[in-house]
Amino acid sequence: MYGGEFDGNAAFAGGGFMPSQATTQANDSSSSLKNRDVRTLLPLTLKQLSSASTNGDSNFSVDGVDINTVAIVGRISRMENRITQVDFVVDDGTGWVDCVRWCQERQETEEMEAVKLGMYVRLHGHVKSFQGKRSVNVFSIRPVTDFNEIVHHFTECMYVHMYNTKLRGGSVAHGGSTTQATATPRPQMPYSTMPTSAKPYQTGPSNQFSNQINDPMHGVKQTVMNYLNQPMHLVSEAGVHCDIIARDLRIPPLQVRQAIEQLSSDGCVYSTVDDTCFKSTLNA
């Protein structure tokens, strides 16, 4: 069974964790991002929500991103307690939306009891459309106690809007083919860090980093790294003594030590039996 080629795409396609390669390549680039997008929590102003485009009863998108779960901060301007649910309206100053919070569990009821008419709240919920009317099915709600959160929320809305329209839009256009977009998916939400270049050297001796041209130690570090990445030094348990590196490379020992120190703090090398013997972290 395992003798043949292992088809990772087929194996994982049903799991829902890994986007299937076949699917992403067959469709246009926007759908390759879809798998990531449907699981996001998107901060929105209600103006954005009400002007979101729709292609059905429950498919909305803003800035080319599918909306599933949204984060809203606003004031409760109307509220009606019913037996199984609480219906309310949230107004964030840019618009308003009908919300419903189903209360079955005790915890849900308690959460809802903390919320009163006229309060500012932060809520997370699922956007749906029923008979052409948009509403939010709330699964989490809490009163805003630090009002800087309101400013923060709107700032975040602007940031995410800019991210989705400018930064990500740019990368898709630049990538052209879907393969590139698939190979390096851009983080869609602000909580992920921006892609940064890999740590220097770690991927092997042939790597070049343009930003290190100004580093006077760059040449020495690169040479030392190349030396330590040689197979015979990689397999050695004890690593190589600084002075031996200096002798073999014909570099002054002081410079070797400085280079090693920097490489060590960069996580590229580590000391072995004592403070003078070093080994590359490559394949470690």
Which residues of the shown chain bind other proteins in the complex (CB under 8 A)?
Answer: 45, 47-48, 75, 77-78, 89, 91, 93-96, 118, 120, 146-148, 151, 154-155, 157-158, 161
Can you tell me the distance from the alpha carbon of 230 to that of 167, in angstroms, rounded to the nearest whole number?
40
117 vs 198 by CB, closer to other proteins:
117
Q: Which residue has the tokens 């919320």?
A: 115
157 vs 277 by CB, closer to other proteins:
157
150 vs 251 by CB, closer to other proteins:
150
Find the shortest distance in angstroms from Cβ 30 to other proteins. 21
Q: Would you state the structure tokens that stand for residue 187, as one six-digit string? A: 């983080």
DSSP secondary structure code for residue 186 in this structure: P
Find the shortest distance in angstroms from Cβ 248 to other proteins. 58
Find the shortest distance in angstroms from Cβ 137 to other proteins. 20
52 vs 268 by CB, closer to other proteins:
52
Find the shortest distance in angstroms from Cβ 77 to other proteins. 5
CA of 33: how far to CAs of 15, 51, 61, 113, 178, in Å? 17, 22, 13, 38, 10
Contacts of 181 (CB under 8 A, 6+ apart): 29, 32, 33, 171, 172, 175
32 vs 48 by CB, closer to other proteins:
48
Find the shortest distance in angstroms from Cβ 5 to other proteins. 49
Continuous segment of H or E residues that includes residue 192: none
Q: Would strands 240-241 and 277-280 be described as parallel, antiparallel, or unpaired?
A: antiparallel
